[in-house]
Structure 1
Amino acid sequence: MKRHPTTSRQLLETQDFGFSLIELLFVIAIAAIFAAMAAPSFRDFIAGQRIKTASYDISYALTGARSEAIKRNLNVVLAPVSGNWQNGWTVTTGATTIAQHEPFVDLTITGPAAGLTYNSSGRLAAAVAPFAISSSVSAGAAPRCVLVDLSGLPSSKAGAC
């Protein structure tokens, strides 16, 4: 016959600490269900952040190319690598490469086919098509549009162009 514990020390000696295997499996199953429910929206979130980052990178490149044209008092060209903006872009003046950007993965970026040329006053040589950025992986991620006015200043907005 087991005796009833009378002191706190005896009480601690009679208790079991920790989790049983069934309790552990139950908690893991619930965590797996929650993770499965959150995965699609997390994928859309990541794709949306990539789209936003790409639009900011394009805006910064446009602003930087405009600034370099004014500073150097030369024409500066922002052009896609291999004719595709997803492959990145280069900023050049004559034969000198000022900057270049790496390719984007899982994004679709459309923009001016020939690139942009800023003249020495920081203005564009001609009107250009806007940059449309969307995800090629997640249809739930909102696209973004980067517009460039004739003065050469870029602006970014959520939504299609």
Structure 2
Amino acid sequence: MKSRAALGRAAGPPKQSGFTLIEALMVIAILGIFTALAAPSFSNTIATMRIKSISFDLVNDLNIARSEAIKRNAVVVLASEGDDWNQGWRITTGGTTLKTREALTGSIAIASDETEISFLRNGRPDVVADGDDATDFSITSSLTGVTGRCVKLQPTGSARSVKEACP
């Protein structure tokens, strides 16, 4: 009978592969440190994406109100809930509510000089901003390092969102 050494195997117990408990714990600790370092930048990214989403929702609702005014040949109103756009807004015509948006939560806020925008039958808004030819909605965050957006409603009724602070 041949010995283990003669068969090409080393003497002793067979070798096992895998990770030790200490190695696994070290990897978990390092991943935890990286996650803790990345968390603040994720909160800014999330706030930036929420601002973008809310600004696009507002542009969409302005466009819906305008198109409904043209389609129905009637005045359609986009108005804030109460005196604050942060409490949400609604689209109405002739006492009928067409659409509502819920109140904003978290660190995001909307500010505008107008609390109500009426779209006339031709699709043009009847608001005249003070000395400016556009009505602005400023969408900002209370977090530092987060870029706000400005939704601009033109006198023609077209709305757009730009990545900058409102003038």
* TM-score, normalized by the shorter chain, greater than 0.5: yes
Name segments (4+ residues, structure 1) moved above 3 Å: 3-8
Q: Partner of 1:14: helix, strand, or coil?
A: coil
Q: Alpha-carbon deviation of 1:49?
A: 0.3
Whether 1:109 and 2:113 are equivalent positions in the alignment is: no
Q: What residue in structure 2 maps to residue 55 of structure 1?
A: 55
What's the TM-score once normalised by structure 1's chain length? Answer: 0.89
Residue in 2 that maps onto 1:90: 90
Measure, in 1, the Cα distance between the counterparts of 2:149 and 2:6: 69
2:161 to 126, 139, 156: 156
Provide the C-alpha distance between the structure 2 equivalents of 1:6 and 1:25, rounded to a whole number of angstroms: 38
Amino acid at match of 2:151: V
Aligned-residue RMSD, C-alpha: 2.0
1:134 equivalenced with 2:140 (yes/no): yes
Tell me the secondary structure at the aligned position of residue 85 of structure 2. strand
**Within 1, Cα distance between the matches of 2:6 and 2:45?**
56
CA offsets 1:94-124 (integer angstroms, 9 cap, x no match): 2111111112212111124331000000001
TM-score (norm 2): 0.86
1:13-24 equivalences under 5 Å are 14-24=14-24
Other-structure match for 1:125: 126
**Against the structure 1 CA distance between its residues 156 and 58, is the aligned structure 2 distance closer, same or farther, given a 3 Å change threshold?**
same
Identity fraction in percent: 41
Change (3 A) 1:29 1:94: same
Name the structure 2 match of 1:78. Answer: 78
Cα distance in 2 for partners of 1:5, 1:125 equals 98
Which stretch of the first structure deviates more once superposed, 82-91 or 40-49? 82-91
Quote the offset at 1:79 in angstroms.
Answer: 0.3
Q: Which runs of 5+ in 1 are unaligned?
A: none
Match for 2:91: what amino acid?
Answer: V
For structure 2, the 5+ residue unaligned runs are: 130-134
Deviates more, 1:20-29 or 1:125-134: 125-134
